[in-house]
Structure 1
Amino acid sequence: MNTDPVLVGVDGSESAAAAARWAAREAVLRHVPLTVLAAFGFADGSFVGERYPPVEWLEVKEAEAEELLQAVRDDLAEVEPRVRIAVETSPAGPEVALREASAKARMLVLGEPTGTLSGLLAGSPDIDLVAHAHCPVVVVRGTIRPREPVVVGVDGSPLSEAAIGCAFEEAAVHGVPLVAVHAWLDADRSRLFGDRDFPFEAREAEHRLLAQRISGYSALYPDVRVERIVEQDRPRDRLIEWSSRASLVVLGSRGRGGFTGMVLGSTSHALLHHAECPVLVVRAGTTAAGDR
């Protein structure tokens, strides 16, 4: 049994507090500890004018981080009293500290991009933590709907396969249905057929692909009710639309249309910025949340 903790980063923002509450519930349902990390260093590890920050500065920042962690503890004790919490501070920047800590976590949870820590998602280096963490990453955004289905994007790629496994486990842990969405409007086919419906044989092939991809997991998780959706549309558009009635959207960091070497594809980028519920991203080289 995997007893690695759920890891969440906090920075005092409301979005990070929401992420901590989400992570606490996840830890309770999975019967694992929750690690709450407050990193107080600069993002690039530097200190203006000096190679290392003064000891006095470090002491003040560490005290502030410890005060923040106590506030998080108090909040979680009210909303999830059963959660087992370990707290950590780090003089490193948030991205570095969380990436290193993710090597010993089953899942990393972040708030949506509004604060300093959550702001990692706002610009170009924003996606670095999602892209390079050692475990699957959840960005808690939008509306929390714990009783709604888990939605997974399926496209037949190896990362999609890993996402399916994560999604089935999430649905089983939370006791909710799973919606497997396969949207298959790609550029080559669009140039060939334009706005017309694709041939019946092509559509049937996509239905078979989805059925094949989820069949093995349905056998492993017989209690998870699955709805299969095959649509002729861009994956990101369908998944964003489904996110308005989901508890969680799960997808691989890039799909079969991504360029070789890309860490995150256009669909995962779009969901991280526009989904209306939390998003779980599974990246190459990470292990599915329940397999570690």
Structure 2
Amino acid sequence: MPERDNRVVLAGVDGSPSSGHAAVWAAAVAARRGAVLKLVQAYTVPGPSVSGMAVAAVREGFRSVAETGLAEAEGTVLAQWPSLPIERSAVEGSVVGVLLRESSDAEVVALGSRGLGGFTGLLLGSTAAALAGRAPCPVVVVRGRKPDDAPPTTGPVLVGLDGSPDSNEALGYACDEATARRTGLVAVRAWTEITSGGSPRKTSPDDIAAGERRLVDEQLAPWREKFPELPVDVVVAHGRPARTLLDRSAGAQLVVVGSRGRGGFTGMLLGSTSHALLVHSACPVAVVRPGSRP
């Protein structure tokens, strides 16, 4: 096998329309980055239920199905990106375990919002949320307005900020993505009287909003210097972060958030805002953990 480019974009596939969109989305990222696209499909072989059958033959059957799914995903990608270098890998094991191992040398891992036969949101409970909270690279759940819709390709990149280390890492990733996509960045900070630390009896909403805007500007300052040509809009809104970002996701092509915000509990792998976006966003959602950005 020829030596592989060191840059890898990973897509988890399973033959579902949702994972097909994820493969195409990941291909576009790989093409922009000059990276190899690696398509991975995990499969598990039933245990006691195959008693009396040749285990090797059963295992080979499951692997064959996975290989067929990979070939179909590759064909879909090559129809749009005919010269993109692609690797395929069918791996026996749990989806989460396989993708965690495979993501060890990837720059980003993309997957669909639900798998074959899954109810809306089911995949998020078993796979995407687990990956987003533990993967060594950013995790993107590729979705549109409806579970099986293709993701939007126009609009700005949206990033949720709250001043935490997680959101700062997300901000760096969002700047990279907005620049690569040649679009603008919208930095969103949502506040309530509780999160702002102010007393509604002593501080007016306008004063709180002004203070929140100053905090956003401070967080943005070093990134504006690093990306001087990137157009950046700032939104400071009264309300819960999840609701604010969900409302604005309808006009964006990507939403970027940290894995946990400033309100996260120690030991939590994924915050409530990140999880809500993974399940309900109208566009792809990237979850960036500290230290995971390439």
In the alignment, which of 112, 134, 137 is matched to residue 135 of structure 1?
137
Once the two structures are TM-superposed, the CA of residue 190 in structure 1 deviates from its matched residue by 8.6
The unaligned stretches of length 5 or more in structure 2 are: 146-150
User: Could you tell me which amino acid in structure 1 is paired with residue 110 of structure 2?
Assistant: V
Moved more, 208-217 or 127-136: 127-136
Residue 123 in structure 1 maps to residue 125 in structure 2 = yes
C-alpha change, 1:24 and 1:186, in structure 2 (3 Å) is farther
The verdict on how the C-alpha distance between 1:83 and 1:122 changes in structure 2, with shifts beyond 3 A counting, is: same
Cα drift, residue 101 of structure 1:
0.5
Q: Helix, strand or coil for the counterpart of 2:103? A: helix
Q: Are 1:283 and 2:289 an aligned pair?
A: yes
* Cα separation, partners in 2 of 1:29 and 1:38, compared to 1, 3 Å: same
Which of the residues 189, 203, 211 maps onto 2:209? 203
1:252 aligns with 2:258: yes
Aligned to 2:191: 184
- Provide the residue aligned with 2:280 in structure 1: 274
Deviation string, structure 1 residues 164-205 (Cα, Å, up to 9, x no partner): 0000000011111000001111536599428x9845443222
Deviation track 1:190-237 (CA, whole Å, cap 9, x = no partner) reads: 99428x984544322211110011111111112211001111111111
What SS does the aligned partner of 1:123 have?
helix
What is the alpha-carbon distance in structure 1 between the residues aligned to residue 50 and residue 204 of structure 2? 63
> TM-score, structure 1 length as denominator?
0.89
1:236 aligns with 2:242: yes
Contact 2:198 2:208 in 1 (8 A): no
In structure 1, what residue type is equivalent to 2:264? G
Figure out how many residues of one structure are paired with residues of the other and give that number: 282
User: SS in structure 1 opposite 2:125?
Assistant: coil
Residue 261 of structure 1: aligned partner: 267
Query: In structure 1, the residue corresponding to 2:180 is in which secondary structure?
Result: helix
Aligned counterparts of 1:38 and 1:129: Cα–Cα separation in 2: 15
Q: Does structure 1 retain, via aligned residues, the 8 Å contact 2:37–2:85?
A: yes
Q: Give 1:50 shift.
A: 8.0
Q: Structure 1 stretches of 5 or more lacking a match?
A: none
* Residue pair 2:39, 2:88 contacting (<8 A) in 1 also: yes
Give the conservation status (yes or no) of the 8 Å contact 1:167–1:250: yes
Q: Counterpart of 2:47?
A: 47
Per-residue CA deviations over 1:71-111 (Å, capped at 9, x if unaligned) read: 11211111222321111110112111101001110001010
Find 1:152's aligned residue among 156, 159, 179. 159
- Describe the SS at the equivalent of 2:89: strand
CA shift in 2, pair 1:146/1:72, >3 Å: same
Q: 2:174 is matched with which residue?
A: 167
Aligned-pair Cα RMSD in Å: 2.5
- Alignment match, 1:71: 72
Which residue identity does 1:92 align to in structure 2?
A: G
Q: Which moved more, 1:150-159 or 1:183-192?
A: 183-192
Q: Does 1:103 align with 2:104?
A: yes
- Identity among equivalent pairs (%): 37
Aligned partner of 2:47: which letter? F
Instruction: Sort the Cα spacing of 1:125 and 1:147 in 2 relative to 1 into closer, same or farther, 3 A.
Output: closer
Q: For the structure 1 residues 190 and 157, does the alpha-carbon distance in structure 2 shift closer, same or farther, using more than 3 Å as the test? A: closer
> Cα 1:13–1:197, aligned 2, differ >3 Å: closer, same or farther?
farther
Preserved contact between residue 34 and residue 86 of structure 1 (Cα < 8 Å): yes
Measure the CA separation in 2 of the matches of 1:188 and 1:154.
13
- Greater mean deviation of Cα atoms: 108-117 or 167-176: 108-117
Aligned to 1:215: 221
Q: 1:81 to 1:198 in 2, by over 3 A?
A: farther
Question: CA–CA distance in 2 between the matches of 1:24 and 1:186?
Answer: 43
CA 1:199–1:63: 2 relative to 1, 3 Å: closer
Q: How does the TM-score come out when normalised to structure 2?
A: 0.88
Task: State how far apart, in whole Å, the 2-side matches of 1:102 and 1:120 are.
Answer: 22
CA distance in 1, matches of 2:128, 2:220: 32
State the 1:58 CA deviation. 1.2
Deviations 1:130-165 (A, max 9, x none): 221111100001152222100000000000000000
Q: Distance in 1 between matches of 2:95 and 2:37?
A: 17
Q: How does 1:16-27 map to 2 (within 5 A)?
A: 16-27=19-30
How far apart, CA to CA, are the structure 2 residues paired with 1:54 and 1:154? Answer: 51
